[in-house]
Amino acid sequence: MSRVPSPVMAFTAGAIQGTDGARGIVDHRLARRMLINEVRRGRVPMDTVCDAHPELIRAARNVGTETQTECPICEEVNLRLITYVFGHGIGPQGRCVSTAKEMRSLNARPEDLNAYVVEACTECRWHHLLRVLPVGGRGRTRARPRS
């Protein structure tokens, strides 16, 4: 038997920079802008923000959607977007969603899931969480007040 390494084994929601576990649409653009400014000013070392998980970079390369936005850190290549879905029944490593069809089927699930839209640079390994969107949870009130 040949050894087949599990490709997604070590990738969890915690590997995504900026993850805070909040449910609902969370926009991280402001935090992103501030972080980029800090890196440019030299207050945050590049290697602390350009440390994307190898699995994230692999996904970005293979199934990521290329954007028209140049990487703010290395300015070498355009950023790519990857969407991961985490939640009950998905497994701790999440699922990398690469097609609209797959996203529709996840959205039809009764469980509350979260989609994490992450940008990543395949050149310098910059990565940042852009948005967290609720997925699934059909038949339940979306706008539950959070205590």
Q: For binding to Zn ion (CB under 5 A), which residues are involved?
A: 71, 73-74, 121, 123-124, 126
Cα–Cα distance for residue pair 72/126, rounded to 1 Å: 9
Q: Which one, 116 or 126, has the nearer CB to Zn ion?
A: 126
The CB-of-47 to Zn ion minimum distance in angstroms stands at 12
DSSP 129: E
Exposed/middle/buried for residue 41 (C-beta within 10 Å: 0-12, 13-18, 19+)? exposed
Cα–Cα distance for residue pair 147/125, rounded to 1 Å: 36
| Amino acid letter for position 8 | V
Q: Which one, 36 or 74, has the nearer CB to Zn ion?
A: 74
The CB-of-13 to Zn ion minimum distance in angstroms stands at 23
Q: Which one, 49 or 132, has the nearer CB to Zn ion?
A: 49
The CB-of-58 to Zn ion minimum distance in angstroms stands at 16
The CB-of-80 to Zn ion minimum distance in angstroms stands at 10
Q: Which one, 10 or 77, has the nearer CB to Zn ion?
A: 77
DSSP H/E element including 96:
strand 95-97
- Residue 143 neighbours by CB under 8 Å, 6+ apart: 24
